[in-house]
Structure 1
Amino acid sequence: MAVKDINEGLNYITYGLYIVTSVDGEKKNGMIVNTVFQVTAEPARMAISVNKQSLTHEMILKSRVFAAMPLEQNTPLPFIGTFGFRTGRTFDKFAKVPYKTGFLGCPVVMEHTLSYMEVEVCQTVDVGTHTLFIGTVKDAGVVQPHGTALTYAYYHDVIKGKTPAGATHI
């Protein structure tokens, strides 16, 4: 089977778009990811997949905490770009974004997000270019109770978003 056929098949898997944040002392960063899922209900555990080249990956490895927030469907492309198209190594992603500091110290974005989950990492799985971070939800809440989650398909088909070269290094 050709790689092209495999990629076409994978395009039918549904994904959401999420902001994932973490901290390293006073430094904070966040990025857009499309792989966030609940693993167990009792205890509440979830997992995320993060590119190893990203600054957020480094911070999660060091601090062992992250927050994940599903984006709302009407999130404007410039806002998505703040977390998805620029690196936190040279740009303060939180300079103009409203957030609160969560229970575990992670930034919880209060604009264009539906809810948040703050997670303490209990296991990591190396999956090649990415790490799967699995953890226990320590705090969660609703930011916007009546929104619709932004899917990856909506992002591409309606917003017409493109993933820029180098976005994996965010």
Structure 2
Amino acid sequence: DSGVFTISILEQETPLGFIGRFGFKSGREVDKLDGVTYKLGETKAPIVLDHTLAYLEARVINHVDVGTHTIFIGELVAAEVIGEGEPMTYAYYHQVKRGTTPKTAPSYHKD
């Protein structure tokens, strides 16, 4: 509804609980930023600073409904590297951290 979003590039050491707080819970149900260090970006969208190596800030220019997800397409407004370390990739999250999707998440698929 805000028309803006941010993407945080997380460090590999980010705890699974921290990831789950943002990835698997609705902001309608919990305050995702409670107890989290953040700043407001150029668009006034919150930029999470905890466990973040870099961030991207964008304005929504389109969106695509793909069933279990909505993909937001954005025009980049700002970006900054704010830390050093190894970024967490999708493969690292699943293969090394053994991250899984909770059964209660809308994106859950039984294997």
TM-score by length of 2: 0.83
Q: 1:63/1:113 Cα in 2 relative to 1: closer, same or farther (>3 Å)?
A: same
Q: Which residue of 1 aligns with 2:65?
A: 126
Q: 1:154/1:97 Cα in 2 relative to 1: closer, same or farther (>3 Å)?
A: same
Indicate if the aligned counterparts of 2:68 and 2:106 stay in contact, CA closer than 8 A.
Answer: no
Q: Which residue of 2 aligns with 1:98?
A: 37
Q: 1:168/1:71 Cα in 2 relative to 1: closer, same or farther (>3 Å)?
A: farther
Q: Considering only CA atoms, is the larger Rg found in Structure 1 or Structure 2? A: 1
1:141 aligned partner, one-letter code: E
**Which ranges of structure 1 fall in alignment gaps of 5 or more residues?**
1-61
Moved beyond 4 Å, runs of 4+: none
**Which ranges of structure 2 fall in alignment gaps of 5 or more residues?**
none
2:8 aligned partner, one-letter code: M
For 1:26-45, list aligned pairs within 5 A.
none
Q: Shift of residue 100 of structure 1?
A: 0.4
CA distance in 2, matches of 1:127, 1:163: 17
Q: Which residue of 2 aligns with 1:107?
A: 46
TM-score by length of 1: 0.57
**Which stretch of structure 1 is more off in the superposition, 84-93 or 103-112?**
84-93
Could you tell me the percent identity over the aligned residues? 51
Count of aligned pairs: 107
Q: CA RMSD in A?
A: 1.8
CA distance in 2, matches of 1:104, 1:168: 28
Q: Shift of residue 123 of structure 1?
A: 2.1
SS of the equivalent of 1:153 reads: helix
CA distance in 2, matches of 1:131, 1:165: 19
Q: Shift of residue 66 of structure 1?
A: 0.7
Q: Shift of residue 101 of structure 1?
A: 0.8
SS of the equivalent of 1:167 reads: coil
